Structure 1
């Protein structure tokens, strides 16, 4: 065989190897992002209009997250937050709309104390989703119901669901890194 044919074969093999490495790397990146962000990955794909744009967005979130000064709570502060949550849940019986607003406020304060920026809902979601991607659907649902509650368009059952959703994120933010956290949709506010 001539040298030209060997060069062409070598170029084709090299291109195939490069393409294979790219596909393996891209697949691993996609699996890692799907695992880390959970349902938030699919939401980003839909919002960004495709996998590549969504993965750029999610990697950007990871990069911003690395620069946050996140901290765990001391056991005493964790217990104070739990007591505050119990108080909010107790108020739900007599004033559900007020309790939902207080739950939203308490979650926001807790985010701030943990070191997350709290400038606006979408920014909150972007920062939280890196470590708490599986809980963002709860947070979004609670936020939506809370907005309806402010205009008087939420039923008592809606408000109860908002409390359940806020509690899912609250518990996850309050948990120590080694504590497992459950996320049921059908739990009632504790009393």
Structure 2
């Protein structure tokens, strides 16, 4: 081979190595970003899918869907109203724990709807919430599971109490979410101390 041919081959090899390196770094950066954003939901999705690539494509699709949703903060009056309703539900737990858990589930779904999250189907709610509320999804899953068993009268009082704690984790996060104010500055977290009772 002539020196020019060797040079062309060497340049082609370098280009291929750089392209492979670029693709690898892009994939690693995307993976890190998804892991940071979705937390434990990333690992759960990878375990539930046939491949990491399929799981990451699903998470990217969730992000895309989320950008099309009209998610909005609640005004102070609505947050206060929900905090009062939560306190009432917690008070009813003493006399009717199963009913209180059902009410807690309904209240969480109602807050989601008022925030702009679609509320059709539990799995879709999980998917939509996972983009910005991944840290509380396991709470929501556990509460929903216990609520289903409570409907069949197959949950202990302690499990029902745990369901209330799990529902409250997501409820408070939905109510307290830091959001951008009208002037574009980040607002202070909402005080829902009533919801902590």
TM-score class normalised by the smaller sequence: over 0.9
* Unmatched segments (≥5 aa) in structure 2: 179-187
User: Equivalents in 1 of 2:177, 2:59: separation in Å?
Assistant: 24
User: Equivalents in 2 of 1:134, 1:180: separation in Å?
Assistant: 19
The count of aligned residue pairs is: 184
Q: Does 2:21 align with 1:11?
A: no
Alignment-derived partner of residue 99 in structure 1: 100
In the TM superposition, residue 6 of structure 1 has moved relative to its aligned partner by 1.1
Alignment-derived partner of residue 127 in structure 1: 128
* Unmatched segments (≥5 aa) in structure 1: 182-188
Alignment-derived partner of residue 110 in structure 2: 109
User: Equivalents in 2 of 1:10, 1:190: separation in Å?
Assistant: 65
Alignment check: 8 A CA contact 1:142 1:162 kept: yes
Runs of 4+ in structure 1 deviating by more than 2 angstroms, as ranges, are: 178-181
Alignment-derived partner of residue 179 in structure 1: 189
Q: Does 2:145 align with 1:144?
A: yes
Alignment check: 8 A CA contact 1:61 1:126 kept: yes
Q: Write the deviation string for residues 23-54 of structure 1: whole angstroms up to 9, x where unpaired.
A: 11111111110111111101110111221101
Alignment-derived partner of residue 44 in structure 2: 43
TM-score by length of structure 1 reads 0.92
User: Equivalents in 2 of 1:67, 1:107: separation in Å?
Assistant: 22
Question: What is the CA RMSD across the aligned residues, in angstroms?
Answer: 1.6
Alignment-derived partner of residue 56 in structure 1: 57
User: Equivalents in 2 of 1:115, 1:94: separation in Å?
Assistant: 33
Alignment check: 8 A CA contact 2:176 2:189 kept: yes
Between stretches 19-28 and 102-111, larger displacement belongs to: 19-28
Alignment check: 8 A CA contact 1:100 1:163 kept: yes
Alignment-derived partner of residue 72 in structure 2: 71
TM-score by length of structure 2 reads 0.90
In the TM superposition, residue 180 of structure 1 has moved relative to its aligned partner by 9.1
In the TM superposition, residue 21 of structure 1 has moved relative to its aligned partner by 0.9
Alignment-derived partner of residue 162 in structure 2: 161
User: Equivalents in 2 of 1:46, 1:19: separation in Å?
Assistant: 26
